[in-house]
Amino acid sequence: MKNKELRYFNIQDLEVRQDEDGQKVVGYGAVFNTPSNDLGGFTERIESNAFDGRTGDDVRFLLNHDPNFIFGRTISGTLNLSVDSIGLRYEVDLPDTQAARDLAVSLKRGDITQSSFAFTVEDDNWDQDENNNIVRTIKKVNRLYDVSAVTYPAYEEASVAIRSMEKWQEEERAEKLKESLKKEKEENKKEEQDLINRNLAELKLKIKSKN
């Protein structure tokens, strides 16, 4: 999982419900087409089809991505994931444990207001906007590991994406250098042809003057 990445969002449309089966938490682990904070020289957005085929992955609902605090899982039916126009939506049936009750209280009080997801990328795109800011677009997620409620966002954990950005920058520089050399070669060739044409014209003038 060396390419695993974490991304953080403010929890949107958070609900903590109580019914006869216990407490349920509903929220969003990711939001589509929303620029992220600066992640180390770039911002990021997630396309609306990035999670296609991923809601059936074996995904856990955790606290702070800590496997010691697991509150739901897709394969057990205690965590349900879906995708709508807003983003990646989760519904988790909290277990009847003290840790789960504490989490519900913290969510209700607004002490925890952010969620995150752990993933690897299959397809992304790097570009620059009109202000020359670097933007990464996540087009397809390869694997979804967990969705977590988080107490602190850790934006420094974008190191995998930073390496991807640096590779893209190197490729962009190499491509620009290649284009520059190609243009220079074409200009040199044109200058050589112009010189040949001038020499031929001068030679014709000399021959004509002798005649």
As a residue count, the chain comes to 211
62 has which bridge partners? 70, 148
Residues 6 or more apart in contact with residue 4 via CB below 8 angstroms = 118, 119, 120, 145, 160
At residue 167, what are phi and psi to the nearest 5 degrees? Answer: -65, -45
What is the full per-residue pLDDT of the chain (211 aa) written as tens digits? Answer: 668 888 888 888 889 988 888 899 999 988 899 888 888 788 889 999 999 999 999 999 999 999 999 999 999 999 999 999 999 999 999 999 999 999 999 999 999 988 889 999 999 998 888 888 888 899 999 999 999 999 987 654 444 445 556 666 676 666 665 676 677 677 777 877 777 777 777 777 767 676 6
Q: What is the CA radius of gyration of the chain?
A: 28
